Amino acid sequence: MTGKLKFARAALVAAVVAVASAGAVGTAEARTPPPSTNIVGGSLASTAQAPWAIALNNSRSPVPSGQYCGATLVKANKLVTAAHCVTQPISTYTAIQGRDNLNTTTGKTSKISKIWKDPQYGQVGGHDVAVLTLTTPFTGVATLPLETSRAADAVGAQSTVYGWGDTEGTGPADRFQKVLVPVLGDSYCGQVYASEGYVANGEICAGYKQGGKDSCQGDSGGPLVLNGRLFGVVSWGIGCADAGNPGVYAEVATYATALQTQINS
């Protein structure tokens, strides 16, 4: 099965048709159901150590905990997430801060009052970014600054991805996890994902050529962190942690100006 899996959890319940439209760059339509499988090959993390990591739950999620996507707190009342995570009605979302286990009630929650989705998302490749405004700001919680230099996307950079998504059985469900994913570089993903339309200026290729460790379904929208900055946003991959199919992340530096305008608004 091939196909660029770029859909959040709720799309898993829809009887998605596998449309072999490779080459339709930038589209987020689900083509194949994902493997039934958070972060693959990672380890348990703590929101006390990563307070800016936000669980973006949705009442339409197929999983009982409501787990749907991730996001990053970039201002007391602003989150950065993936454009493909904001396809549901605004009232169905809940942002959760400081909850390591989604089957508990610890931490802060907020509804969403405004969604900004990159207007070029789906028109051209890349642009899988969105900014959400919280109805109840997470005041006093540490935020993550945006990476603004495209030079950060250098082969071998040691970035870490966080999320509550699928583990493919490599860990407990609904638990906050992290995994180190080195940057593999635009030329590698340009080759392995040529037919999926990998976008060098707007996407980051990170993970392991041999597979084993990766982000996965439900991690979308969550943070890829490098040097204490929001470097990437979990976007897509073919399968999870499979050899030759690394994770693809929206490149925050490419979209930093547009994102910062929304964050400041």
The contact set with ligand ARG (CB under 6 A) reads: 5-8, 165, 214-220, 234, 236-237, 240, 247
Q: Which is nearer to ligand ARG, 107 or 239 (CB)?
A: 239
Q: Is 159 a known active-site residue?
A: no
On whether the CB atoms of residues 135 and 113 are closer than 8 A, the answer is: yes
- CB 186 to ligand ARG: min, Å: 16
Q: Which is nearer to ligand ARG, 50 or 63 (CB)?
A: 63
Q: Which is nearer to ligand ARG, 107 or 207 (CB)?
A: 207
C-alpha distance from residue 141 to each of 43, 54, 105, 107, 144 (Å): 23, 11, 18, 11, 10
Q: Which helix (H) or strand (E) holds 253?
A: helix 252-264
Specify whether the backbone of 209 is left (phi greater than 0), alpha (psi in -120 to 50) or beta: alpha
- CB 208 to ligand ARG: min, Å: 11
- CB 192 to ligand ARG: min, Å: 12
- CB 44 to ligand ARG: min, Å: 19
Neighbours of 98 (CB within 10 A): 19
Tokens representing 259 are: 């994102």
Catalytic residue among 110, 215, 220, 235: 220
Q: Which is nearer to ligand ARG, 116 or 236 (CB)?
A: 236
Give dist(CA 38, CA 22) in Å, integer. 26
Query: 117 by DSSP, 3-state: which?
Result: strand
- CB 198 to ligand ARG: min, Å: 13
Q: Which is nearer to ligand ARG, 89 or 261 (CB)?
A: 89
* Residues written for the chain: 265
Q: Is 128 a known active-site residue?
A: yes
Catalytic residue among 100, 118, 128, 153: 128
Phi, psi dihedrals of residue 121, rounded to the nearest 5°: -60, 130
On whether the CB atoms of residues 80 and 252 are closer than 8 A, the answer is: yes
Give dist(CA 70, CA 185) in Å, integer. 23
Catalytic residues: 84, 128, 220
